[in-house]
Amino acid sequence: MNDGLQLPDVCFGLIYADANARLGKSGLKISKIILGTMSYGTPDWQGWVLDEEKSLPLLEHAYKVGINTWDTVSCFENDNTGILP
């Protein structure tokens, strides 16, 4: 059933910009929800990975709704996920 919601609305619709936490004593405010980026990069690695054209709108939407912390661990995609598209 399609009720008019697109993927970013469904995934991030309940996130609010005030859902932040302080990172230790640094004073840095980070979002309580962290966006994993394992599925962003190049489908040459895995077919289910979103390319730059498809992943950038999701990253932008996440940022606009208050998610400012992204997991870019470098153990995926032959150590290339630390580099955002």
- Say yes or no to pLDDT of 8 above 50: no
pLDDT digits (tens, 9 = 90+) for 17-68: 457 888 889 988 888 888 888 888 888 878 888 899 999 999 999 888 888 8
Contacts (Cβ under 8 Å, ≥6 apart) of 1: none
- Residue 33 near residue 67 (C-beta atoms within 8 A): yes
φ/ψ of residue 76, rounded to 5: -100, 160
- Say yes or no to pLDDT of 6 above 50: no
